Amino acid sequence: MELNSNIPEGPMAQKWSTHKTKIKLVNPANRRKYHVIVVGSGLAGASAAASLAEMGYQVSCFCYQDSPRRAHSIAAQGGINAAKNYQNDGDSVHRLFYDTVKGGDFRSREANVHRLAEVSVNIIDQMVAQGVPFAREYGGLLDNRSFGGAQVSRTFYARGQTGQQLLLGAYQQLSKQIGLGAVKMYNRHEMLELVLVNGHAKGIITRNLVTGKIERWAGDTVVLATGGYGNVFFLSTNAQGCNVTAAYRAYKKGAGFANPCYTQIHPTCIPVHGEQQSKLTLMSESLRNDGRIWAPKSKEAAAKLRKGELKASDIAEEDRDYYLERKYPSFGNLAPRDISSRAAKEACDEGRGVASTGLGVFLDFRDAIKRLGKDVIAERYGNLFDMYQCITGDNPYETPMMIYPAVHYTMGGLWVDYNLESNIPGLFVAGEANFSDHGANRLGASALMQGLADGYFVLPYTLGNYLGEEGIASAGKIKSDHPAFDAAEKAVRDRIDKFLSIKGDESPRSFHQRLGKIMWDKCGMAREKSELQQAIKDIQALRKEFWSRVRVLGEGTELNQELERAGRVADFLEFGELLCRDALMREESCGGHFRVEHQSMSEDEDVKSGLVSEGEAKRDDEHFAFAGVWEYQGDDVEPKLNKELLTYEVVHMATRSYK
Amino acid sequence: MHLHLKIWRQKNGDQPGKFVSYELPEVDEGSSFLEMLDIMNEQMVSKGEEPVAFDHDCREGICGMCSLVINGEAHGPQRATTACQLHMRHFKDGDTITIEPWRAKAFPVVKDLVVDRTAFDKVIQAGGFITARTGSAQDANEVPIPKPVADKAMDAAACIGCGACVAACPNGSAMLFTSAKAGHLNLLPQGKAEKDERTLKMVEAMDKAGFGNCTNYGECQAVCPKEITLDFIAKMNRDYATARVRKFFSKAC
Ligand SMILES: Cc1cc2nc3c(=O)[nH]c(=O)nc-3n(C[C@H](O)[C@H](O)[C@H](O)COP(=O)(O)OP(=O)(O)OC[C@H]3O[C@@H](n4cnc5c(N)ncnc54)[C@H](O)[C@@H]3O)c2cc1C
Ligand code: FES
């Protein structure tokens, strides 16, 4: 596999502008001759589809929900970063770039991150122009808040519904183009196969989720903006339909899958309540601006809290351990996510956890309410408090919230070069589905930024470059009667027939749940070699069982949610193994990937010097400063590892310290 | 808790549907309403019966996908709560619960509890946007927007497009949905240029899509999970009247 990152020459701050002047353009009159397929209507997909249509391309856009407005971007709560420096607190493109590279634990591609920081400012302008009602100060200017891993206020927000408002902005722009006929929108269509012609991505196969019809779509280029794969863990903060299918199908067609083990566990989610649970709910990170996280100092007190013999308010100030403030005084409750999550796990592992399961810590607003008044807190977080109360039955104005980490975001994804093009020519990948910008850990409020950066400000240029290089003679040449489509369609049909013919005794959901348990127990917040090896074996066994025992009722020619789930679970059952393999390969701890064998020890220089505490993630830059890119080699054959070496010109690799 | 369920089953849009009763012996009161349906569906799969189709995705009350009429009320008994955010602790052991799809002319049933809401998308496509071509925007702080205006726009923009308002309206009207979007955009300085055009086109698209008229029942406001208020309907009516007048005079001269 050839991995050429295609990073432009020149100084970091000029790379993007120079690149834009050099790449090929497609002349406006020719654009309508090209057909662009965009899979996904989240922030990345909707913004790309709308922008490309405005430029004059013919665009077809697909999503599995009943409307593009329901893509999972809608659920983002807290906010979106941009280096506007409206607060005059020392922010700049460089600082956002620096924070993101450092936050990603030096495992991202520097040049991509710099571009992200550069275009962040345009995103806010664009969204405001479209009518996104961001929060404002009394003077009418835009308001900001802080998010983890930053010491400036650069996060823009719309109450606790930032993702919703941004997505609706992009959706409205997309809707205009649909209304004009420039975008053809296909709701309730699931992409089940990628079609390659002469090694280039030239189409997809979909299933119409209402009628069951299998359809072929030929295009000049394909954009995947299909979101993340957090649902491989079964329980996550993702929507029920989020899946790896589109990305995994591309992987099986030869696209490299980079860093699948980089998964983000979000520190502030509502703890699990029981076996019947179907999803976990995030409490926005923004709560950490005013909430203080603590666990009782003593195990005995924790045990009493769990049994309900004590209430949080019974614990005296000196008996509380505000562990983030203690361990990371300069970032305090706003330490990055990976660090905060592990600290919560540590407290619970020590027997100091609360909630009935012992898997919970407090997020307390008592002091903030005292300082600012209940009204201010309600204004800032009212809807989050209501949501918490609705789910748990507890009132967070009176008693602290209980929180625990949960799978939330996936930094890994399809490998792309600087142009967001995968190693398959003509296949572009945007948003959470690609691997590019967050390294081993994403900072809060940066995913919305990346999705919109990719769709609005990167793809419209780089996709044209590919089409320009292919030349106008190629436009619309590949039709869906090409033999490559026959083969791809047949594969899709065979697989569906297979699901329906097994007629076993266990539901797809049950298999998904079992897979999730393996993943969380053995490849969750703390990973270890023998456990990972076991996980791989367990997944292989489970997969075998699936293919002989799964029961998919109903037919293929109708709306069949069991069949949809079976397809997604089947891909997760393969992909989960890949994720574990990647975790096993990566013999270091970095960002969201924590190998218990690799943590800082009391004898380490950095610990002795006080730079970091014992038990922090320990990177191995000498051996692992690369993106691990997996190449499919066949079913049940070990995939091949390729490496994109990461070099840092501007931000010097250093041990991350948030002390 | 033990529950008796009466659920609407319908194979597809062409065939008639009917209520079917199911027993559900063990549900945890910490479960959500949709988790209760998951449990029921799992139980059905194990018996070899085809599970009930229902729409859902985020399960956080924000995507607007879930769409159940529970005991006669869109999204069920809890105020300002979508079906996915409704928890079983609000029901009692031994309760009988009736579950139906949205019922409205403009939202045909696709299967069981799933309906087709593309009519909403059509309304937005007609004018529910502010034209701002990618890359053409000025600096975001160039036009200050007074906080009360921004807040009011946000109140309207909170709509999740679930369609409960239509399902609850005896006329199957989409006025609350349409006015929320028109209100959001018309209130903002950015939305002024297209205000008349937007209002006229959205109302026209709404009528064309088969939604009924608004006769001020107010049921929509009562069921709205995001508590969108009727005053947006009043505002849209005013905007519509002004737009009509202006259009008339601009044609006349
Ligand atoms: C609860 C929650 C809160 C968050 N809060 C924040 C926040 O405050 N700030 C922040 O920056 N980030 C946040 N994030 C992360 C951020 O929301 C996501 O990373 C981002 O929105 C992903 O956007 P996307 O466009 O890549 O994908 P998505 O929005 O997930 O869209 C994926 C699209 O692909 C389609 N699709 C998927 N598979 C297929 C298929 N096989 N066939 C056809 N279509 C398919 C879907 O229908 C959908 O349209 C949050 C995430 C969650 C889960
Ligand atoms: S499932 Fe998203 S709002 Fe209910």
What pLDDT digit, counting tens, does each position of B224-247 carry?
A: 999 999 999 999 999 999 999 999
Environment class of B138 (CB within 10 Å of its CB; exposed 0-12, middle 13-18, buried 19+):
exposed
CA distance B138 to A88: 20
Q: Kindly state whether residue A578 falls inside one of the protein's structural domains.
A: yes
Confidence of residue A511 (pLDDT cuts 50, 70, 90): very high
- What is the number of CB-based contacts under 8 A between chain A and chain B? 225
| Residue A280 within any structural domain of the chain | yes
Is B109 part of the contact surface with chain A (CB cutoff 8 Å)? no
Catalytic-labelled residue, pool A69, A216, A249, A337: A337
The confidence band for A285, taking pLDDT boundaries of 50, 70 and 90, is confident
**Distance of residue B191 Cα from the nearest chain A Cα, in angstroms:** 7
> Could you tell me if residue A402 is inside a domain?
yes
If one counts the domains in chain A, the total is 2
- Last residue of some domain: A407, A441, A464? A407
Percentage helix, strand, coil, to 5, in chain B?
A: 40, 15, 45
Mapped onto helix, strand or coil, the DSSP state of residue A214 is strand
Look at residue A148 in the predicted model and tell me its pLDDT.
76
Residue A653 DSSP label = P
Same-domain check for residues A522 and A402 = no
Q: How many CB atoms lie within 10 A of CB A90?
A: 9
Q: Which of B41, B59, B134 lies nearest to residue A279, judging by beta carbons?
A: B59
Helix A43-55 and helix A162-180, axial crossing angle in degrees, nearest 10: 30
Cβ contacts of A187 on chain B, cutoff 8 Å: 118, 121
- Residue A148 inside a domain? The answer is no
Structure confidence at residue B250 (pLDDT)? 84
Query: Domain ends where: A407, A434, A464?
Result: A407
| Residue A379: predicted pLDDT | 84
Nearest CA to ligand 1 atom 9: A445
Boundary-marking domain end, from A378, A407, A436 = A407
What is the CATH number for A348? Answer: 3.90.700.10
Active site residue A337: yes
Task: Give the distance (Å) from ligand 1 centre to CA of residue A155.
Answer: 19
Question: Structural domain of residue A367, as residue ranges?
Answer: 267-407
Task: Tell me the per-residue pLDDT of A202-252, one tens digit each, with 9 for 90 and over.
Answer: 999 999 999 999 999 999 999 999 999 999 999 999 999 999 999 999 999
Residues B17-50: pLDDT tens digits? 999 999 999 999 889 999 999 999 999 999 999 9
Amino acid B253: pLDDT: 55
pLDDT tens digits, residue range A532-572?
A: 999 999 999 999 999 999 999 999 999 999 999 999 999 99
List the domains of chain B with CATH numbers.
3-110 (3.10.20.30), 117-252 (1.10.1060.10)
CATH code (residue A580) = 1.20.58.100
Mutate which of B32, B33, B55, B62 to test ligand 2's pocket (most atoms within 8 Å of Cβ)?
A: B62
* Same-domain pairing of A384 and A509: no
Per-residue pLDDT of A110-148, as tens digits, reads: 999 999 999 999 999 999 999 999 999 999 999 998 887
What DSSP designation does A638 have?
P
Assess contact for B167 and B108: CB atoms under 8 A: no
Measured distance CA(A358)–CA(A304) in Å, rounded: 11
What pLDDT, on the 0 to 100 scale, is given for residue A336?
Answer: 84
pLDDT of residue B252: 58
Question: What percent of chain B clears pLDDT 90, i.e. is strictly above it?
Answer: 97
Residue A635 lies in a domain: no
Region A93-118: mean pLDDT is 97
Q: How far apart are the first and last CA of chain A?
A: 41
Q: What string of DSSP letters covers A515-544? A: HHHHHHHHHSSSB-HHHHHHHHHHHHHHHH
User: Which ipTM did the prediction report?
Assistant: 0.98
Residue A387 pLDDT level (bands cut at 50, 70, 90): confident
Q: Is residue A309 part of a domain?
A: yes
pLDDT single digits (tens) B72-121? 999 999 999 999 999 999 999 999 999 999 999 999 999 999 999 999 99
**Alpha-carbon gap, residue A554 to A209, rounded angstroms:** 13
Residue of B63, B213, B176 whose CA lies nearest to A227 = B63
CA distance A181 to A110: 39
* pLDDT tens string A50-64: 999 999 999 999 999
pLDDT digits (tens, 9 = 90+) for B156-192: 999 999 999 999 999 999 999 999 999 999 999 999 9
Is position A174 within any domain? no
Does A131 fall in a domain?
no
SS3 labels along A322-356: CHHHHHCCCCHHHCCHHHHHHHHHHHHHHHHCCCC
